Structure 1
Amino acid sequence: MAGQAALADSTTDIVDALVMKGVLTEEEGKLINKGHTSKTKVAPVVKEKDGAFILESANEANSIQLTGRMHLDYRASSLDSMDLGPAARGDDRDTASMADQFELRRARLGVKGKFAKDFKYEVVGNLPGTATVDIAYFDWAKYDAFQIRGGKFKQPFGLEELISSNNMTMMERSYLDQTVPAKKIGLQVMGTPTKGMTYALSTYQNNDVERDLVGDGYASGAGRLTFNFAESMGDKESVLHLGVAGLSATSSAQPTTTSQTSGSADGSSSYGRANINAFRSAGRGLNNIFRGQIGGGACTTATYSCPLEFGAKVVQNAVGLEGIFARGPFKIMGEYSRSKYEADHNGGQGTGSTNVSYDTDTFYAEAGYFITGEKYADSYKNGVFSSFKPKNNFDLDKGELGAIELAFRVEGFRVEDTNLGPSGLGSRLQGSLDGSGTTNGTKSKADTYTAGIRWILNPNVVFKVNYAYTSLGRNYAPLDVSTWAGSSSSGAAVVGSESLFMTRFQYMF
């Protein structure tokens, strides 16, 4: 853009000098300058920002920018060397999650920009494995106070979820994030009606491709309202953020028949079951430290003898509270959410129905401090933290380190008020439980403590180190080495805690 302006100025200066020396008449000079100006007004302009290049029309009404990210993780688990006994399965996702491993956590490419001045768009694809659409949406963004979004995007529930994975302090989000809708297809209205305030209200469906007769469509919705008191008072050194959110979601849970989802508590019969929800230990550690399933009674080869063949309807209602206090290089951030899950299968021509319900409480509190002096308020925008820029980018020759943040987080989940409905139909709870997986009133919980370092070398390169310790409410055997939660197979190890050491190298533009 600067080059375009310099070229325009130099050309005009040359023409004016030729007019002054009498080489050109004034009329000829005006004609040449007019022709040159008309060309520069239509030529596209290339801009650069934080290592990303943007191609923009001369009238600034249209633009396109290539975006991308790559997160390479290494994870070492304290459970990797445990003897799981003869019943363990090395190909199972539950015990495979205990292994030390490298993981290409994210690899994405996308484009974003604007068109016709008042519309914005973004399309991002996931590359690892089978390529999928991560997000794809457009905004009508003429006014700050009222905007409309349509497509696949993050739903307005959960402060952590709405902060980009590029900009999170820790490597992974908390247990609370395992209960939010995340990225779904739908419509949303949103805006910043006054300084410091944001709102968003959406309606969405739970499956990208609608397949279910019951449970999806546009029966789900979420909303969020936030206010930053510091911003409203003009305080640029602080963040004083409070927010509330709610959701009501209806989805269909499909039955599965793997060795981990079939089988009664005593192993005497086979059931068809569908998952309601589950928790994985913090840091993407051990899978299914809690899982709720709805059953449909014993399945046989007879047609329609297992009602769960028709799927199950799961309803989640949740409320959330969130807050941020930040002053200069110090912050405290936290959230609390309570969800109620209720499930019943669709019946169809089956032999009856079963209902399962329980409540989950999830929470975290996180403290952070930039020892290099960066201010959290500089990265706060529209109710979330966006990208951080170091005061000085990493440069060994100049002795600059970039930005270094120290952090600590406490988090947990609780499952209470469990009701498994009629007995003998196969519904159950699994994982770390304080009672039988088929008994009403059984509870589950876990607490995790994570210490972390985030080293921001420059706006494009970040290195993270996390150590997480998880304490389960009760010991249990991983699901694939036990017939059901609460028991252990011959020779199986019993898990009561887990430690994870994790690193991440990430690049983004």
Structure 2
Amino acid sequence: MKGYLLVAVVAMLGVELMPAGARAEDMNTIELIKQLQRRIEELEQKVKALEGDKQREEQDSAAKAKQRTEELEKKIKILERNRELDKEAAEAREKSTPRITTTEEGSTGFAFSTPDKDFTLRLRGYVQGDARFYIGDDIPINDTFLIRRLRTAIEGTVFRDYDYKIMLDFGSRASITTGNNGFLQDALVNIHYWPEFQIQAGKFKPPIGYEHLASDANLLLLERGYPSQLVPNREVGIQLHGELFRGRVVYALGAFNGVFDSGSEDFDVTDDHKDVIGRIAIQPFKLSGNEYLQGLGFGVGGSVGDQNGTSPSFVTTAAQRFFSYASGTGATNSPNVVAAGRHWRVNPEFQHTFGPFGLFGEYVVSSQELQRTEGSTISRVRADNTAWDVTASYILTGELNTLRGPVPRSAFSPRGGGWGAWELVARVGKLSIADEVFPDYAAAGSANSAFSYGVGLNWYLNRNVKVNLDYEHTRFDGGSAASGAVTAQDENAFLTRVQLAF
């Protein structure tokens, strides 16, 4: 820059001096040079000042940019931290906020749970409205509409490993007794740290009877077959149970108060004895992938104990009583029969499902020592009562048969065109009373046995609503021939049911 200025000065000097070359020694020339030098210095200072200002501006600009960048980075870090805090808060809310879902097992219902499902509560229940019509009999009061069952249940889990269930029956035909056996159906806690070894305690169905262990909401025909009448209904006790080999083996073994056949109690009101009840069921081909064999299973249950007190009565598959033990005061001409001693049961079973087809059968022998009292005469006898049945079903609409009712592929809807699922069912079975019971230990007019067969058509409108239409025929061996007696003629009954379950 300075070089350019010198050139300019020399050029100016040349212009000034050329016309006055003779006066080169004039003092004005020196003064002019000095002025020019001062001017050059002034210009140099201005240039330096301008360059300094530009440098300062660049430095200021860089500093401001750096400051701005730091501020932006700080804001970004703040935003990122806020985002992390929001995410943590959302996760905390999610962990603490209950969820409302629909249940997937069985009938569709409602459930409340924590997100991790360590705590759950499910609301379940079902109502069954029946109609019974008996054809060709002389009994004037047995055709009826009725609420067969009206049950509500609360079940769920606490702390992940503790299941609970409470079920009440408001439509039970039984009145509330000192044993409270009709109202409270289930009240239990199940501890399951491991699926192989679980502990269950409370009131529930003991582990015996294949069809008996099925829920009342999943029955293929309106009433259970005869074998279920020779096993206990519900008892109070504790059992060890679980699944082994990935579900191929299911076992249960427990100690219970002990009740008469098909009986229920909340506490033992007859004796101090306890029953031991167990069951093991095997499906050896469950995971084989062989569609013909994977649904094949076998099992056996049993019980043993001492039973005193009430003796049972038995009904047909259309729910009419055909046998009772003698029940009097125990005085002369009024004999009374009670359970009095060792009571054992054996219950083999089998089942097979293949696509829409299903088949199961079971046999029960219930051996009970009985005592008959009439005045001063006391006698004893052992009665080995037996029952068996075989039930087959076929899903007409092609759904998978589980012997517990199908899940319809399409729910019935007059607007959407779905027809639900349709099922055909057939059953044959027999209950026989031990010969030793007759005539002294049986109530007058009781039959020695009942042989029944029945067919049914089930319509599953959806997972919650089912309609049953059954026909049952029963033939009796022995019994009263008096007009109006159940055993006076063969029983023919049409039974219907509308069920809503959730």
Give me the TM-score of the superposition, normalised by structure 2. Answer: 0.75
> Corresponding residue for 2:472?
468
Residue type of the partner of 2:286?
A: E
The one-letter code of the counterpart of 2:312 is: N
**TM-aligned CA deviation for residue 54 of structure 1:** 0.9
Q: Any conservation in 2 of the 1:202–1:222 contact (CA below 8 Å)?
A: yes
Q: Is residue 228 from structure 1 mapped to residue 283 from structure 2 by the alignment?
A: yes
Compute the displacement of 1:506 (Å).
0.2
Deviation at 1:410, TM superposition (A): 0.5
Structural RMSD (CA): 3.0
Identity of aligned residues (%): 27
Using the TM superposition, give the Cα deviation of residue 352 of structure 1 relative to its aligned residue in structure 2, in angstroms.
Answer: 5.7
Larger fraction in strand: 1
- Counterpart of 2:80 (choices 13, 26, 32) is 26
Aligned with residue 115 of structure 1, among 155, 158, 165: 158
- Tell me the secondary structure at the aligned position of residue 476 of structure 1: coil
Give 1:222 deviation, angstroms.
1.4
Is the Cα–Cα contact under 8 Å of residues 323 and 442 in structure 2 kept in the other structure? no
Pick aligned residue for 2:350 from 303, 311, 323: 323
Q: What secondary structure, in the 3-state scheme, does the structure 2 residue paired with 1:390 have?
A: coil
48, 58, 81: which one aligns with 2:102: 48
Render the CA deviation track for 1:29-64: whole Å, top value 9, x for unaligned: 222322232222221111112531111113321111
Match of 2:317 among 278, 282, 303: 282
Q: CA deviation at 1:430?
A: 3.9
Q: Check the 8 A contact 1:475/1:496 in 2, yes or no.
A: no
Does the aligned pair in 2 maintain the 1:339–1:360 contact within 8 Å?
yes
Q: 1:30 to 1:504 in 2, by over 3 A?
A: same
Letter in 2 for 1:136: A
Per-residue CA deviation, residues 49-93 of structure 1 (Å, 9 max, x unaligned), is: 25311111133211111111000000001255x2x7xxxxxxxxx
The counterpart of 1:336, out of the listed 349, 363, 369, is 363
**Residue deviations 1:271-295, cap 9 Å, x none?**
xxxxx332211121x21x1223377
- Give the count of matched residue pairs: 412
Q: 1:209 corresponds to which letter in structure 2?
A: F
Q: CA deviation at 1:471?
A: 0.8
**SS of 1:28 mapped into structure 2:** helix
Secondary structure of 1:392's match? Answer: coil
Q: CA deviation at 1:398?
A: 2.9
Change (3 A) 1:209 1:143: same
Larger Rg over CA atoms: 2
AA in 1 matched with 2:316: S
**Alignment-derived partner of residue 146 in structure 1:** 197
What CA distance in whole angstroms lies between the structure 1 residues aligned with 2:328 and 2:297? Answer: 43
Q: Are 1:405 and 2:423 an aligned pair?
A: yes
Shift of 1:346: 9.8
Change (3 A) 1:417 1:345: closer
1:252 to 282, 291, 308: 308
1:392 corresponds to: 410
* Aligned residues of 2:455 and 2:470 also touching (Cα < 8 A): yes
CA distance in 2, matches of 1:460, 1:244: 32
Map of 1:127-276 to 2, 5 A cutoff? 127-128=170-171, 132-195=183-246, 196-205=248-257, 206=259, 207-212=265-270, 214=271, 217-235=272-290, 238-254=294-310, 276=311
In structure 1, which of residues 288, 293, 305 is the aligned counterpart of residue 326 of structure 2?
A: 293
What is the CA distance between 1:104 and its match in structure 2? 0.2
User: Residues 351 and 119 (structure 1 numbering): CA distance in 2 closer, same or farther, change over 3 Å?
Assistant: same
Write the letter of the residue equivalent to 2:449: K
Aligned to 1:14: none
Distance 1:351 1:35, change over 3 A: same
> Which runs of structure 2 are paired with 1:75-114 in the superposition (5 Å)?
75-80=132-137, 82=138, 96=141, 99-114=142-157
Q: In structure 1, what is the equivalent of residue 489 of structure 2?
A: 496
Please list the CA deviations of residues 197-234 of structure 1 after superposition, one character each: whole Å capped at 9, or x if unmatched. Answer: 1011121113323333x3xx452121111111331424
Unaligned 5+ runs, structure 2: 1-71, 177-182, 260-264
What letter matches 2:170 in structure 1?
Answer: L
- Alpha carbons 1:124, 1:134 under 8 Å: kept: yes
CA distance in 1, matches of 2:193, 2:442: 51
Distance 2:283 2:149 in 1: 31
Amino acid across the alignment from 1:115: V
Helix, strand or coil at the partner of 1:171: coil
User: Which residue of 1 is the match for residue 452 of structure 2?
Assistant: 448
Amino acid of the structure 2 residue aligned with 1:65: R
Say whether the 8 Å CA contact 2:163–2:190 is kept in structure 1.
Answer: yes
Cα distance 1:467–1:249, how it changes in 2: closer, same or farther (>3 A)?
A: farther
- Matching residue's letter, 2:102: E
1:246-293 deviations in whole A, cap 9, x for unaligned? 112433325xxxxxxxxxxxxxxxxxxxxx332211121x21x12233
- Compared with structure 1, are the counterparts of its residues 346 and 405 closer, same or farther at alpha carbon in structure 2 (3 Å cutoff)? same
Change (3 A) 1:503 1:356: same
CA separation in 2, counterparts of 1:330 and 1:493?
Answer: 35
For residue 372 of structure 1, give the secondary structure of its aligned residue in structure 2.
coil
Q: Which amino acid aligns with 1:500?
A: A
Tell me if structure 2 keeps the 8 A contact 1:294–1:344. Answer: no
- The amino acid of 1:392's aligned partner reads S
- Say whether the 8 Å CA contact 1:76–1:500 is kept in structure 2: yes
Please give the alpha-carbon distance, in whole angstroms, between the structure 2 residues aligned to 1:313 and 1:475: 25
C-alpha change, 1:497 and 1:21, in structure 2 (3 Å) is farther
Q: What residue is the counterpart of 1:66 in the other structure? A: 123
- Structure with the higher helix share, 1 or 2: 2
Higher relative contact order (CA 8 A, sep 6+): 1
